Structures are given as structure tokens and as C-alpha cells.
Amino acid sequence: MNKLSIIEKNVRTQLRCMIRMNTTSTKQKQTPAEYCLQLVRKSDYENFLCTLLLPHSIKSAAFAIRAFNVEVAQVEDQVSDNRIGAMRLQFWTDALNGIYNANPPKSPVADLSYLQILQRHKLSKRYFKRLIDARLSKLSSSIFVDLESLEKYCDYTTSSIYYLLLEAQGTASVNADHAASHFGKAHGLVTLIRSVPYNARKRVMILPQDVLLKHSVSSESIFQGQSSAGFKDVILEIASCAKQHLKMATSLRKTAGKDLNVIFLSTVCVENYLENLEKVDFDVFHPTLQRRNGILPLQLLWRKIWS
């Protein structure tokens, strides 16, 4: 049996364990840890796979961080009235304050955050708050004026997660923080590019207005799913920005130590999408970009072992 077959077998074994771990009896009360794990698996599958491969010592904390992000990120899609959305985000703000005051609310995510994160890892409150604040700001003003404002949003919503993961790992390094900042922006920009078809169906525009204006692309043409040359240039410009941040993150990560590779395993997902996007000439509506990558678990495990 060659090395590739052994690795593939290991991946399948881990996935079977994952499925068993996620299967709970209807009569058995779900634990906070199980709730967080299943929430991330359902709503953030690629990062779920990456989190499975983290060291056992930080895995529960990582799932709690990811689950908290899923909870606040889903608010916008769950409401049609921004005022209700603001109320739900206020709940999470109050929950966060309660957690840090040793008085967590009755919420699976908040309970796990309190037990697993605060008691063991002592993570910074400000990064969780940034996850909420960015979504609250987007509720009140959903349009990004320029690429810089989009990058800032990605820093708040995605880089914050990697700052927390670094803290959970016990990594305190300027280069590591800079790597997290750049990678979070790269990952966030790619996530927003990937969400264009979904948001177009909802008639929601998440692309920066200055880039659209520069290439003479109207929002309405995107809502109608038109992949014009100008629109592809818009996507190319944002993807190029993501690629620059990814390059910087990779360079900084090399100087910060090998232990960071597992924290940034989702680099594989970002690289895959940017490569596939280029293959289809930056047409985000192309059907091949909507398919799940069946070999991603193998790619992630391979990167973890050999990076």
C-alpha cells in the first residue's frame, strides 16, 4: 500500500469517527460541545474539516470560536427586518458580556465559550466583539463603498477568528498576528467572492462600489447573473487583492514557525478556489465553482502532514 492510499484510508477513518461523533440519540440531551461541532459542520463545512485536524488541546475551543462566528454571521440571513437583526446581535453582545462577567446565558455556544475558552485559554473579548460589530455595521449599511472598506470588514469578520485561534494555541508573535491579519483578509475576500451568486439571487450587493464603477458594471446586471467582461474584471481585481494578502500571510507564516501551519490549514481552501476561479476566467457563476470539493479532506490532511 503506497503513502497516498494510507493517507486516504486515514482520512476516511477520521470522517467515519466524525460522523459517529455527530450522531446523537434523540432521547439524549445534546452537550454544548456537540451543538457547536454540528453547527459548524452544517454551516461552515470547509472550516469544520480544518478544525477537525487541529491539536486536541485546542479543538474544543476552536469549534466554540467557529460556532460563535456562525451564530452571529447567520443573523443577517435569518431576518427580513434589520431592527430584529440588531436585536439578535444585541443578544450576543449581552451574552458576551455575561460570559466575561462569569454569568453566561443559557446558550450552547455561550456555555461552551465560557467553559472551554475563558477557563482554559483566556481569549480576548475584543475579537469576539469585532465579529458582532462588523455584522451590526453591515446591517445598517450593507454597501461597501470601496475595496478598503471590504478589506476592513474581512479583517473584523475573518482575521479575528485567526487571532483567537492563535491565542488558543498560546502563540504570541508579531509576525503570527500579521500573518493572521493578511490571511483573514484573503480568506474573507474569497468567501465574499464565493457568495456573489447567492447574494445576487437575494438582490444583495457585496462587491465594492468603486471597483464596479471603475469597470462600468451595474448591480442589476449582477443580480441577473450576467458575466460580462467588465464583471470578470471586477472579480479579477478583488481576487488579485486576496492573492496578495495570501502571499504576504504565507511569507510571514514561514518566519513565525511551523506550528502555525495547522492554524492556517484553510489556506488550502483559499488556494483551491482562486485556482479554480482563474480556470473559468473569473466567472463566479460558473457551475464548476458551485460544486463541493470531494478530495478536500485528503488535501487538508496531506498539507498538515507534509507542510
pLDDT at 108: 67
Q: How far apart are CA 159 and CA 115, in angstroms?
A: 23
Average predicted confidence (pLDDT) for the chain: 88
Task: Give the residue extent of every domain in the chain.
Answer: 31-141, 142-292
Q: What is the pLDDT of residues 197-206, one digit of tens each?
A: 999 999 999 9
- Read off the pTM: 0.89
DSSP state of 117: I
Q: Which three cell numbers stand for residue 68?
A: 460563535
Closest Cα partner for 188 from 251, 254, 247, 241? Answer: 241
Ramachandran assignment for 143, one of left (phi > 0), alpha (psi -120 to 50 degrees), beta (any other)? beta
Query: 120 by DSSP, 3-state: which?
Result: coil
Give the H/E segment covering residue 222.
helix 219-223
At the fourth CATH level, which superfamily is domain 142-292? Answer: Farnesyl Diphosphate Synthase (1.10.600.10)
Q: Which range, 20-24, 120-124, 212-216, 255-259, is most confident?
A: 212-216
Average pLDDT for 183-189: 98
Name the DSSP class of 171.
Answer: -
**Residues 38-69: pLDDT tens digits?**
999 999 999 999 999 999 999 988 999 999 99
- 100 and 125 in contact (C-beta within 8 Å)? yes
